[in-house]
A and B are shown apart, each in its own frame.
Chain A
């Protein structure tokens, strides 16, 4: 008699045994989505709040300080920096440290006291359209509110506080201009991390790594030798992405392309080192893949690629400083959209280089202690 379900019970029995024996794997594969949900649920706030704001208060008297208090109390702006000239005001925005600049003119209080209309300049980084829109709306509303209060007191008063927004970059708010530079960082990370992680785990699986350890090769020699060819490949990938962005999606590049190319190197270096670190832990290519995915999610959600970093709760904002993509997204958007120069971005490049070196040293130590000496 031919029973098409023959063996069902035996396989079912065996499979439940597997699940029970390897409970830890099951537990982690079920708990990770929950963890990710918690992270993303708490970490992401699509309302734009706490935008980093630079202030040039040329006036400095009581009226101007009152205006700043109102901006501060709006929860939309986070006044992080106070400068004394136009150049510093501009630089703070071009370097990506601040997205909004407020300039209160030297005669602001005088004009208000003499019942005249006073203008306040609001510089807005237009590279993120949601931030720009929110900044325009809130500053205009505060100006309006401030004016109305004065009109209520004295009906002869003119429209007193005139907020003048000026969108600095990406004035038409084209979304490719905003998304593609960030996407560059995410795509690059994806490719490079996998490349090195797989190349070493493959050697573990084949047993060739064990053979290498019996030779005089040193961990750093091994890891750098692994890393360098993929640095070349990652760099080539970057060139293709930038080329496609410029010529297929017509995203104008305001800064120096060579600077972008140069500053991409430390970023690729970080991603490759991360891959190597993963490979020191992973026992199989499937395991390496899982770990690599874990690193990619934060790079998408906590790097400012989709949601502005400033809007995140404090914990996640601090976390974003440890996400390499945060720095590189600032570099790509800085050079491509804001025309930032070396002077604005060298700190981001340095941060990436230090991170990469740190990760590589950790990886080399792990290789020495956990992989070779095991």
Chain B
């Protein structure tokens, strides 16, 4: 089947069992071409297992998946020809130079010598690796290693690139630069499948899914997720409370009737509040506990709020099910 599908990835009811343990439990999602798809979830929730299934490294226990229109079960090798992959530890040969690393990966993908030369020039240009081509990759800083690893992953002009925690352990400037590069490449039609722990990165994605213990519990654009009814229960609203003594304020807030949940967020508190409690009453209630509040203002839920709410809801449902 030629990759004419509008989806770069379509995963249908993926299941992967290891003995009695179900690591991936009926996972369905699809990624449209050109999207930056953020795949989020805690450690051990099945992110890497899903990537391994989509790249043909792990057979599916049941379900089906097509990557670039190719069925991963039927032809995993063809899938691997058409994707790039960059792991969190950048997987470079530290005793090879930048250009030797690129040459090696180019040859692995069977690039003919003149195409390899052309692609290396393009990738070096695009990733700004020019000044370092003869340097051993061991001597590069984290950010440059990551650029080189990305270069190696895109040498064979894949239109879909998997990035497994690409920004773990690199400095904020390099992180920002990587995202700029991803947006640029995305504008050229490359689809990205990115796993990350950083919520600010999730906010940058055009499409996110959240996997929790083998199940996808959220899937959509960041904006649609923020508007989910589960995240915004009827009869409630969200506020941000700024106070000088933040931990004291939190302790007090948790005793106030009408506050459903409250968490510290930087120098302020994010709280989910019943409609019956308006902001002036809230201020008064806190003052009773000798807490002075600098400011209270309404707040839209962040993606972190979304995932926290959905996780609680999911846990509650799971407990209910195990009790019943």
Report yes or no: B59 in contact with A210, Cβ–Cβ below 8 A: no
Q: Measured between alpha carbons, how far is A218 from B80 in the docked complex, in Å?
A: 11
Question: Which residues of B are found within 8 Å of A207, using beta-carbon distances?
Answer: 87, 89, 91
Tell me whether A214 is interfacial, beta carbon within 8 Å: yes
Report yes or no: B87 in contact with A215, Cβ–Cβ below 8 A: no
The digit string for B67-79, where 1 denotes a CB below 8 A from any CB of A, is 0000000000100
Tell me whether B29 is interfacial, beta carbon within 8 Å: no
Least CB distance from B236 to A in Å reads 45
Tell me whether B105 is interfacial, beta carbon within 8 Å: yes
Least CB distance from B142 to A in Å reads 15
Question: Which residues of A are found within 8 Å of B89, using beta-carbon distances?
Answer: 206-207
Task: Tell me the nearest residue of chain B to A207, going by C-beta.
Answer: B89
Q: Measured between alpha carbons, how far is A237 from B93 in the docked complex, in Å?
A: 26
Question: Which residues of B are found within 8 Å of A217, using beta-carbon distances?
Answer: 108
Tell me whether A373 is interfacial, beta carbon within 8 Å: yes
Tell me whether B58 is interfacial, beta carbon within 8 Å: yes
Cross-interface CB contact of A214 among B85, B92, B110, cutoff 8 Å: B85
Q: Known interface pairs A206-B91, A208-B91. Does A213 touch B77 (Cβ–Cβ under 8 Å)?
A: no
Report yes or no: A215 in contact with B109, Cβ–Cβ below 8 A: yes
Report yes or no: B108 in contact with A208, Cβ–Cβ below 8 A: no
Q: Known interface pairs A214-B85, A215-B108, A216-B110. Does A208 touch B93 (Cβ–Cβ under 8 Å)?
A: yes
Chain A, 181-232, CB within 8 A of any chain B CB:
206-208, 210-218
Tell me whether A286 is interfacial, beta carbon within 8 Å: no
Q: Measured between alpha carbons, how far is A210 from B81 in the docked complex, in Å?
A: 16
Instruction: Tally inter-chain residue pairs, CB-CB below 8 A.
Output: 40
The digit string for B203-217, where 1 denotes a CB below 8 A from any CB of A, is 000000000000000
Q: Known interface pairs A216-B80, A373-B58. Does A210 touch B91 (Cβ–Cβ under 8 Å)?
A: yes
Least CB distance from B169 to A in Å reads 13
Tell me whether B246 is interfacial, beta carbon within 8 Å: no
The digit string for B228-269, where 1 denotes a CB below 8 A from any CB of A, is 000000000000000000000000000000000000000000
Tell me whether B62 is interfacial, beta carbon within 8 Å: no
Q: Known interface pairs A372-B57, A373-B58. Does A216 touch B108 (Cβ–Cβ under 8 Å)?
A: yes
| Total count of chain A residues near the partner, CB < 8 A | 14
Q: Which of B89, B91, B92 has the most CB of A within 10 A?
A: B91
Cross-interface CB contact of B91 among A211, A216, A218, A373, cutoff 8 Å: A211
Tell me whether B55 is interfacial, beta carbon within 8 Å: yes
The digit string for A357-374, where 1 denotes a CB below 8 A from any CB of B, is 000000000000000110
Q: Which of B77, B81, B92, B108 has the most CB of A within 10 A?
A: B108
Question: Which residues of B are found within 8 Å of A215, using beta-carbon distances?
Answer: 80, 85, 105, 108-109
Q: Measured between alpha carbons, how far is A208 from B58 in the docked complex, in Å?
A: 18
Task: Tell me the nearest residue of chain A to B101, going by C-beta.
Answer: A208
Question: Which residues of A are found within 8 Å of B162, using beta-carbon distances?
Answer: 214
Question: Which residues of A are found within 8 Å of B59, using beta-carbon distances?
Answer: 373
Question: Which residues of A are found within 8 Å of B92, using beta-carbon distances?
Answer: 208
Question: Which residues of B are found within 8 Å of A372, using beta-carbon distances?
Answer: 57
Least CB distance from B57 to A in Å reads 6
Least CB distance from A124 to B in Å reads 54
Report yes or no: A211 in contact with B85, Cβ–Cβ below 8 A: yes
Q: Measured between alpha carbons, how far is A210 from B92 in the docked complex, in Å?
A: 11
Report yes or no: B80 in contact with A214, Cβ–Cβ below 8 A: yes
Q: Measured between alpha carbons, how far is A206 from B89 in the docked complex, in Å?
A: 8
Cross-interface CB contact of A212 among B58, B94, B108, cutoff 8 Å: B108
Q: Measured between alpha carbons, how far is A210 from B87 in the docked complex, in Å?
A: 8
Q: Measured between alpha carbons, how far is A218 from B59 in the docked complex, in Å?
A: 17
Q: Known interface pairs A216-B109, A217-B108. Does A211 touch B87 (Cβ–Cβ under 8 Å)?
A: yes
Q: Measured between alpha carbons, how far is A218 from B91 in the docked complex, in Å?
A: 18
Least CB distance from B176 to A in Å reads 25
Report yes or no: A216 in contact with B81, Cβ–Cβ below 8 A: yes
Task: Tell me the nearest residue of chain B to A212, going by C-beta.
Answer: B108
Least CB distance from B161 to A in Å reads 11
Least CB distance from A207 to B in Å reads 4
Least CB distance from A174 to B in Å reads 45
Question: Which residues of A are found within 8 Å of B57, using beta-carbon distances?
Answer: 213-214, 372-373
Least CB distance from A97 to B in Å reads 47
Task: Tell me the nearest residue of chain B to A222, going by C-beta.
Answer: B108
Report yes or no: B77 in contact with A216, Cβ–Cβ below 8 A: yes
Q: Measured between alpha carbons, how far is A208 from B92 in the docked complex, in Å?
A: 6
Q: Measured between alpha carbons, how far is A231 from B87 in the docked complex, in Å?
A: 31
Question: Which residues of A are found within 8 Å of B109, using beta-carbon distances?
Answer: 215-216
Q: Measured between alpha carbons, how far is A126 from B163 in the docked complex, in Å?
A: 67
Q: Measured between alpha carbons, how far is A216 from B94 in the docked complex, in Å?
A: 22
Q: Measured between alpha carbons, how far is A217 from B85 in the docked complex, in Å?
A: 14
Question: Which residues of B are found within 8 Å of A206, using beta-carbon distances?
Answer: 89, 91, 93-94
Report yes or no: B55 in contact with A214, Cβ–Cβ below 8 A: yes
Q: Measured between alpha carbons, how far is A216 from B78 in the docked complex, in Å?
A: 8
Task: Tell me the nearest residue of chain A to B58, going by C-beta.
Answer: A373
Least CB distance from B264 to A in Å reads 35
Least CB distance from B18 to A in Å reads 10
User: 9 more A-B contacts (CB under 8 A) besides A208-B92, A215-B109, A373-B58?
Assistant: A211-B85, A211-B87, A213-B57, A214-B83, A215-B85, A216-B110, A217-B108, A372-B57, A373-B57
Can you pick out 12 interface pairs between chain A and chain B where the beta carbons lie within 8 Å of each other?
A206-B91, A206-B93, A207-B91, A208-B91, A208-B93, A211-B87, A214-B83, A216-B77, A216-B108, A216-B109, A373-B57, A373-B58
Taking Cβ atoms with an 8 Å cutoff, the residues of A that contact B are 206-208, 210-218, 372-373
